[in-house]
Amino acid sequence: MEKSFLLKKQEAKTLKERYPHLTERTLNEVVKVNNQFSVFCPEVYDGRKPEAIFEELGVLGEKDKEKAIIDIFQRHFLRQQKQNLIIYIRCNRMIRIL
Q: What is the pTM of this model?
A: 0.66
Flag whether 12 is in a domain: no
Identify how many contiguous H helices and E strands the chain contains and give both numbers: 5, 2
Flag whether 9 is in a domain: no
Please state the separation of Cα 39 from the chain's center in Å.
10
Flag whether 15 is in a domain: no
Q: What is the pLDDT of residue 89?
A: 41
Flag whether 1 is in a domain: no
Range of the domain at 48: 22-97
Flag whether 33 is in a domain: yes
Flag whether 50 is in a domain: yes
CA gap 12, 46 in Å, rounded: 27
Q: What is the pLDDT of residue 97?
A: 43
Residues of the chain with pLDDT under 70: 1-13, 84-98
Asked whether 87 and 33 are in contact (CB, 8 A), the reply is no
Q: Into how many domains does the chain fold?
A: 1
